[in-house]
Amino acid sequence: MFGSLQALPADPILGLLAKYREDTNPQKIDLGVGVYKDESGHTAILDCVKKAEQHRLETEDTKVYIGPTGSPLFNQTMSELIFGASHPVLLSNRARTVSAPGGTGALRVAGEFINNVKSGATIWVSNPTWANHTGLFEAAGLEVKTYPYYDYENKCLDFDGMLAQLKQLSSDDVVLLHACCHNPSGMDLSQEQWQQVVEVAKSVGFLPVIDMAYQGFGDGLDADAYGLRLMAESVDELVICSSCSKNFGLYRERIGACTVIAASASAADVANSVLLSTVRCIYSMPPAHGAAIVETILSSEELTAQWHQELAEMRDRINGNRKLIVDKLVENGVTRDFSFITRQKGMFSFLGITPEQVQQLQDEYSIYMVGSSRMSIAGIANSNVDYLAASIAKVL
């Protein structure tokens, strides 16, 4: 049976990581992988996470299943983190949250849930979007189409094009939106633009799905959730996929959440029954360790305060790196305007160079980024930024 199989190409980012590891150049720079790195290039465990794990080590007394919904305390604390404790959706009991294996697992659950509601529904994603969105939703049985989002030539949002496309949709359509720190462009909607998108969603009646993988990495926990919270209080139905990989540094623990909002508490109960059936048929029960870490932190004033501080340090470092690389390019005589990098949010930015120049950076200077010139800002450091800027200047 397997004899008819043909090898599929490796994931571009994973393939890039493998090449980086094999490179023996001591000056090599990894700008491909989407994980936070400190100044030394290390992705350390947060101190608040270590304390929460120690607490779990001392108090955990069983490894029994925790049920398809996951930990109720995790679901509650995550809901309050996403919406804010006094959000109307929570006060009216219209939201139902389940634990999922990371943000990717939450997206797959959302896709399968939507397909159960409307088989073969069309989901519209931004152009560009995270590369795995298309595969996830197609595997769940949905048809994927794109709406305009990033203007590559002018290095800004194509908001007029986006809004025009969304106005043409129907109530049978689904629209995926990035809550903050858009992956891969780094270009986020302003509060005023979010208000316009919400008005279109209300008018057209499409189902919004909001992917929030980077809450706290843009402007702050509350500011990054502005659009999501506005949408939640403005429409009857909404699906949210959230992740704890980046803001808690729990990449390998694979913990996230899928939240469904319905028009009423009773409708939310019905939707939740379908959501749990979907979960049961994919992975049955979610992992527990990451959820226990998050709920321990969010249930402790001391650990929450420490987490806020550590998260702010990560956010400030990334935002500082944006200005740093722009300044260094100017110092190296680059006349092209790269100031757009400082106006973006989160982990990523398109450098805006050609695929040939990206390949030249890799071949001649051991600088690795995706062929689209998407680079991970977290890979920049004081120790490598001069070499990086000089190399880009030479390629340009």
How do strand 174-178 and strand 256-261 relate by DSSP bridges? unpaired
Lowest pLDDT segment from 12-26, 65-79, 185-199, 231-245: 12-26
pLDDT of residue 262: 98
Percent of the chain at pLDDT > 90 equals 96
Domains detected in the chain: 10-44+311-395 (3.90.1150.10), 65-299 (3.40.640.10)
Q: Round to whole Å and give the CA distance between 47 and 320.
A: 22
Catalytic residue among 211, 307, 328, 345: 211
Mean pLDDT for the chain overall: 96
222 tagged catalytic: no
Q: What is the mean pLDDT of residues 10-38?
A: 90
194 tagged catalytic: no
pLDDT of residue 344: 96
Catalytic residue among 130, 188, 194, 224: 130
Lowest pLDDT segment from 107-111, 242-246, 370-374: 370-374
C-alpha neighbours within 13 Å on the C-beta side of residue 226: 16
Exposed e or buried b for every residue in 333-344, given b needs 16+ CB within 10 A?
ebeeebebbeeb
pLDDT tens digits, residue range 303-358? Answer: 999 999 999 999 999 999 999 999 999 999 999 999 999 999 999 999 999 999 99
307 tagged catalytic: no
pLDDT of residue 216: 98
pTM: 0.96
- As a residue count, the chain comes to 396
Residue 8 has pLDDT above 90, yes or no: no
Residue 372 has pLDDT above 80, yes or no: yes
pLDDT tens digits, residue range 177-221? Answer: 999 999 999 999 999 999 999 999 999 999 999 999 999 999 999
Catalytic residue among 28, 155, 246, 345: 246
Q: Which amino acid is at 278?
A: T
pLDDT tens digits, residue range 61-72? Answer: 999 999 999 999
pLDDT of residue 51: 98
pLDDT of residue 50: 98
Residue 105 has pLDDT above 90, yes or no: yes
Q: In this structure, what token pair is assigned to residue 50?
A: 């270590």
Q: What is the mean pLDDT of residues 8-13?
A: 80
